[in-house]
């Protein structure tokens, strides 16, 4: 069944002879001999193999070879490689066999092709990694990529015999990777066909719909082209030009893409007329002169749009594209884009760099652009920070974007993707210029970093040593180079900030005799609305979080608000507590407890008695409960006195540590004559007292008398006494007393 039938044998032979006939640069005897040898080897190797469609396998490599030479313009070596491209991968032949028969060069290209053959068959991250490797081979021999593209093109052309799920997968890869690659290599025709075929299989209905709409509009379009071209044809002929005028067909995919991305109806896109004039270059006259001469003829007839001239003749695009574009007002009052190209330029535009090389000896042009591109890709690939997948996304971005050309202050040209900003340009110059950029001068006018550049802009970057890259810059830039540089700078910067913030927080906590702990972070993270410690440190480091309210926050979430901020600490002081005479004379001399802030440990084994509500400065004693926790009473508290007499063994001496950091809740009672402005006078006095904060005011007045209480945060008795003195001075205030017992 697998044996070839006679008609099949004949078909294969016919296809092969056709390939030989159409092969460019294959004229030499040696070339012919090697191509035939490759054909025999491949035919033998693939013997018995058939494609999904049922046709003999060997027809595929022949077809790929034909694309390679007739559509890309490559010579004998590439044809040989294309014929052999699946031999090592799919048959028993090895790279060594190939080398023995065809030499080192062919073997290394086949090796490259074999290695990248299932680049896209795996998981996405692996894909990216492989894609990266594939691009690294670019500089070794660009033919590997070109043959790969031809292979993909033939597979797309014959995709109908594949099952639908494979069709969609293969089409997806083609849109995502192969078409942009073809575009970047300047293979415009192949790029367009790959895109259109992908669309056909990914969205069959959309595709068919567009095809029929385009067919329906064909007549109208032909008429538009004719009425535009007629006046030009005469004039161009009079000038002695040999030329073709065609309506540039908009590809199905690009029509669809525009409808999607710009949300424009089909008619509007399709109505946009684009005309191409391809002329046979006259000898002895520079092509550039001829282009501008034709431009002049066109604009004698149709008025040009001044800001829509694109001179890709003086400065070709990085992928080698050359042409002069001009937009003029057409006969029906519509803008028409006209592309002016010599035959040579047209070849390059349609067939890419290979064609470019073919014309190399004919004058200007070289593979400079391609080298520049490969250099850029290498820069990206060599950045160890770039995560492979991120790289792929960024790279894709670059592939899709078309270019602009801008100038440095010294007049050097930089090519950037469309939509690139001043900041992109800064990073294009140098990473450090990017990181230190504060603004730019475009054509001597000051602009911000996110200013979008246009072709022809002359850009000067202003820098400052104190400038730092910031996260929002990622929204300012388009190029992969700038993106990865900013990400790297932020990473480094953030490390510094975290260190700085950590130090600041530790110092601040240290003022309160605290150390960072899980418990503290449990309070701080939600209070400052951050998720991680590092995030907190980083915000402190930048100054977004000032730590002014640290104290408040540390208090906030505690269940027993005021009590738990203090702890009793046993000290082995030999002296008696230096409190005044009224203080409790401890039964156990020589040792006392220090009451000090404890913001950290909410499980501290102590509490402050509600019956007398002591604050720092009050004479205090401690009473040890059954469970070992200590309750702090004022020394003169009746309850405490009772405890001392009845349970003296449980009484422990206690002393406040001296500091003024924490505020302490206290209550005062006021009474007086209710006069106009009394409330205001009271609150003014309280607010003037810097060390006192008001929490709650609760005054009632009846029959001209006011009475009530005010809750305050104070540091200690001294502050509280000061306040009481000042309140009493207010006219109408009769009495101000501290309330010993606070019931919340």
Taking the complex as a whole, the smallest distance from the CB of residue 154 to Mn ion amounts, in Å, to 7
Q: Cα 145 vs. chain centroid, distance in angstroms?
A: 28
Nearer to Mn ion, 111 or 534 (CB): 111
Q: Which residue's structure tokens are 């001239």? A: 309
Q: Which positions from 33 to 72 touch Mn ion by CB under 5 A, shown as an x/- string?
A: ----------------------------------------
Nearer to Mn ion, 86 or 689 (CB): 86
Part of the chain binding Mn ion (CB under 5 A), chosen from 83-91, 196-204, 453-461, 563-571: 83-91
Nearer to Mn ion, 151 or 196 (CB): 151
Q: How far apart are CA 238 and CA 495, in angstroms?
A: 71
Segment near Mn ion (CB under 5 A); pick from 24-32, 86-94, 494-502, 552-560: 86-94
In this chain, which residue has its C-beta nearest to Mn ion?
A: 151
Cβ-Cβ contacts under 8 Å for 251 (sequence gap 6 or more) = 192, 195, 196
Matching residue, tokens 């104190």: 466
Scanning 147-155, 363-371, 395-403, 497-505 for contacts with Mn ion by CB under 5 A, the matching segment is 147-155
What are the structure tokens assigned to 389, written together?
A: 């997948």
DSSP collapsed to 3 states, 119-186: CCCCCHHHHHHHHHHHHHHHHCCHHHHHHHHHHHHHHHHCHHHCCHHHHHHHHHHHHHHHHHHHHHCC
In the range 586-615, which residues lie near Mn ion by CB under 5 A?
Answer: none
Does 151 help bind Mn ion (rule: CB under 5 A)?
Answer: yes
Could you count the other beta carbons within 10 Å of the beta carbon of residue 600?
22
Considering the complex, state which of residue 81 and residue 210 has its C-beta at the smaller distance from Mn ion: 81
Other residues' Cβ atoms within 10 Å of the Cβ of residue 366: 11
CA 190 to centroid of chain Cα atoms: 30
CB atoms near residue 557 (< 10 Å) = 14
List Cα–Cα distances, 738 to 643, 672, 684, 718, in angstroms. 23, 15, 19, 12
From the list 79-87, 221-229, 373-381, 723-731, the region that binds Mn ion by CB under 5 A is: 79-87
86/196 with CB nearer Mn ion: 86
Answer yes or no whether residue 196 interacts with Mn ion by CB under 5 A: no
Q: Which is nearer to Mn ion, 114 or 339 (CB)?
A: 114
Beta bridge partners of 34: none
Nearer to Mn ion among residue 31 and residue 151 (C-beta): 151
List 90, 173, 239, 674, catalytic entry: 90
- Residues with Cβ within 8 Å of 672's Cβ and at least 6 positions away in sequence, in order, are 678, 705, 706, 707, 730, 732, 733, 734, 735
Pairing of strands 403-407, 413-417: antiparallel
195 binds Mn ion (CB under 5 A): no
Residue 457 binds Mn ion (CB under 5 A):
no
Q: How far is the CB of 116 from Mn ion (least distance, A)?
A: 12
Chain centroid to Cα 161, Å, comes to 40
Choices 146-154, 523-531, 677-685, 686-694 (CB under 5 A): range interacting with Mn ion: 146-154
| C-alpha neighbours within 13 Å on the C-beta side of residue 224 | 22
Minimum CB separation of residue 90 from Mn ion in Å reads 8
Stretch of residues binding Mn ion (CB under 5 A), selected from 80-88, 106-114, 616-624, 640-648: 80-88
Residue from 16, 26, 46, 86 binding Mn ion (CB under 5 A): 86
The reply to whether 432 belongs to the active site is: no
Provide the token pair at 557: 């979430």
CB of 92 to Mn ion, least distance (A): 17
Cβ proximity to Mn ion: between 64 and 273 the closer is: 64
Q: Which stretch in 148-156, 286-294, 510-518, 636-644 sits in contact with Mn ion by CB under 5 A?
A: 148-156
Encoding tokens for residue 270?
């399709």
Q: Which residues have CB under 8 Å from 346's CB, separation 6+?
A: 276, 278
Smaller CB separation from Mn ion, 130 or 583: 130
Judged on CB neighbours under 10 Å (0-12, 13-18, 19+), 647 is exposed
Q: Which residues contact 45 (CB under 8 A, 6 or more apart)?
A: 87, 90, 91, 92, 93
* Beta-sheet strand order (sheet of 335-342): 243-247, 273-279, 335-342, 324-329, 304-311
Name the packing angle between helices 76-84 and 104-115 (round to 10°). 50
Q: Which stretch binds Mn ion (CB under 5 A): 40-48, 85-93, 491-499, 678-686?
A: 85-93
Which residues have a Cβ under 8 Å from the Cβ of 177 and sit 6 or more positions away? Answer: 120, 131, 396
Q: How far is the CB of 16 from Mn ion (least distance, A)?
A: 16
Cβ 467 to Mn ion, closest distance in Å?
Answer: 52
- Sign (positive or negative) of CA dihedral 107, 109, 110, 116: positive
Q: Cβ 415 to Mn ion, closest distance in Å?
A: 34
Total residues contacting Mn ion by CB under 5 A comes to 2
**Interface with Mn ion includes 153 (CB under 5 A)?**
no
Q: Label residue 613 exposed, middle or buried (CB < 10 Å: 0-12, 13-18, 19+).
A: buried
CA-CA distance, 256 to 260, in Å (whole number)? 6
* Structure letter (DSSP) for residue 430: -
Candidate segments 150-158, 412-420, 613-621, 701-709, binder of Mn ion by CB under 5 A: 150-158
Compare residues 121 and 507 and give the one whose CB is closer to Mn ion. Answer: 121
Q: Which one of the listed residues 17, 89, 216, 385 is annotated catalytic?
A: 89
Other beta carbons within 10 Å of 188: 18
90 counts as catalytic: yes
- Reported as type and span, the H/E element at residue 447 is strand 445-447
- What is the enclosing helix (H) or strand (E) of 734? strand 733-739
Q: Which of 601, 641, 647 is nearest to 621 (CA)?
A: 641
Instruction: Between 151 and 460, name the residue whose CB sits nearer to Mn ion.
Output: 151
- When the beta carbons of 156 and 712 are compared against Mn ion, the nearer one is 156
Q: Percent helix, strand, coil in the chain (nearest 5)?
A: 50, 20, 30
Nearer to Mn ion, 134 or 654 (CB): 134
The residues that touch Mn ion, with contacts defined as CB under 5 A, are 86, 151
Q: Which residues are catalytic?
A: 89-90
């Amino acid at each position: 069944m697998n044996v070839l039938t006679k008609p099949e044998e004949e078909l294969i032979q016919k296809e092969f002879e056709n390939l030989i006939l159409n092969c460019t640069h294959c004229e030499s005897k040696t070339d012919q001999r090697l191509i035939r040898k490759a054909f025999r080897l491949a035919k033998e190797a693939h013997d018995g193999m058939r494609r999904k469609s049922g046709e003999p396998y060997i027809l595929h490599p022949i077809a790929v070879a034909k694309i390679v030479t007739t559509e890309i313009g490559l010579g004998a070596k590439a044809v040989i490689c294309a014929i052999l491209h699946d031999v090592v991968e799919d048959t028993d032949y090895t790279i060594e066999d190939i080398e023995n028969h065809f030499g080192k060069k062919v073997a290394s290209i086949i090796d490259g092709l074999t290695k990248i053959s299932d680049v896209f068959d795996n998981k996405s991250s692996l894909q990216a990694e492989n894609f990266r490797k594939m691009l690294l081979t670019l500089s070794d021999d660009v033919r590997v990529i070109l043959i790969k593209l031809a292979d993909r093109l033939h597979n797309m052309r014959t995709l109908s015999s594949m099952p639908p799920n494979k069709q969609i997968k293969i089409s997806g890869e083609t849109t995502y990777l192969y078409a942009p690659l073809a575009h970047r290599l300047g293979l415009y025709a192949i790029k367009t066909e790959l895109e259109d075929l992908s669309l056909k299989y990914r969205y069959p209905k959309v595709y068919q719909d567009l095809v029929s709409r385009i067919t329906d509009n064909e007549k109208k379009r032909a008429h538009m082209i004719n009425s535009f071209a007629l006046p030009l044809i005469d004039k161009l002929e009079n000038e002695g030009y040999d030329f073709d005028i065609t309506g540039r067909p908009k590809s199905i995919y690009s029509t669809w893409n525009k409808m999607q991305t710009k949300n424009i109806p089909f008619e509007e896109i399709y109505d946009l007329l684009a005309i191409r004039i391809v002329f046979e270059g006259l000898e002895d006259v520079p092509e550039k002169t001829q282009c501008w001469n034709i431009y002049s003829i066109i604009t004698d007839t149709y008025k040009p749009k001044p800001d829509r001239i694109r001179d890709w003749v003086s400065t070709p695009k990085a992928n080698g594209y050359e042409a002069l574009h001009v937009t003029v007002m057409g006969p029906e009052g519509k803008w028409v884009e006209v592309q002016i190209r010599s035959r040579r330029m047209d070849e390059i535009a349609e067939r890419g760099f290979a064609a470019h090389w073919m014309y190399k000896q004919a004058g200007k042009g070289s593979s400079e652009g391609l080298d520049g591109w490969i250099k850029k890709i290498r820069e990206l690939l060599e950045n160890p920070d770039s995560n492979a997948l991120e790289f792929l996304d960024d790279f894709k971005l670059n592939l899709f974007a078309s270019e602009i050309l801008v100038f440095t202050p010294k007049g050097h040209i930089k090519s950037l993707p469309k939509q690139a900003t001043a900041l992109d340009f800064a990073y294009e110059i140098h990473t450090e210029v990017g990181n230190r950029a504060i603004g730019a001068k475009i054509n001597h006018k000051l602009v911000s970093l996110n200013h979008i550049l246009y072709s022809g802009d002359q850009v000067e970057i202003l820098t400052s040593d104190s400038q730092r890259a910031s996260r929002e810059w990622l929204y300012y830039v388009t190029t992969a180079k700038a993106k990865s540089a900013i990400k790297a700078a932020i990473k480094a910067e953030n490390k510094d900030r975290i260190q700085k913030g950590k130090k600041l927080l530790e110092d601040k906590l240290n003022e309160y005799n605290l150390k960072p702990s899980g418990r503290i972070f449990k309070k701080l993270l939600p209070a400052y609305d951050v998720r991680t410690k590092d995030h907190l440190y980083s915000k402190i480091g930048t100054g977004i979080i000032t730590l002014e309210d640290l104290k408040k926050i540390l208090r906030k979430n505690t269940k027993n608000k005021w009590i738990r901020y203090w702890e009793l600490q046993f000290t082995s002081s030999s002296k008696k507590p230096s409190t005044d005479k009224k203080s409790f004379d401890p039964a156990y001399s020589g040792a006392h407890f220090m009451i000090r802030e404890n913001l950290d440990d909410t499980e501290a084994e102590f509490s402050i008695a509600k019956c007398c509500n002591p604050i720092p400065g009050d004479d205090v004693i401690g009473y040890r409960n059954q469970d070992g926790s200590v309750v702090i009473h004022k020394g003169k508290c009746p309850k405490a006195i009772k405890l001392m007499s009845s349970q003296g063994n449980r009484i422990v001496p206690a002393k406040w540590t001296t500091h003024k950091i924490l505020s302490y809740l206290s209550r005062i009672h006021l009474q007086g004559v209710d006069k106009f402005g009394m409330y205001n006078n009271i609150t003014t006095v309280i607010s003037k007292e810097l060390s006192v904060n008001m929490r709650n005011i609760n005054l009632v007045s009846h029959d001209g008398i006011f009475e009530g209480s005010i809750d305050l945060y104070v540091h200690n008795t001294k502050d509280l006494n000061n306040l009481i003195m000042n309140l009493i001075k207010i006219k109408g205030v009769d009495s101000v007393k501290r309330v010993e017992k606070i019931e919340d």
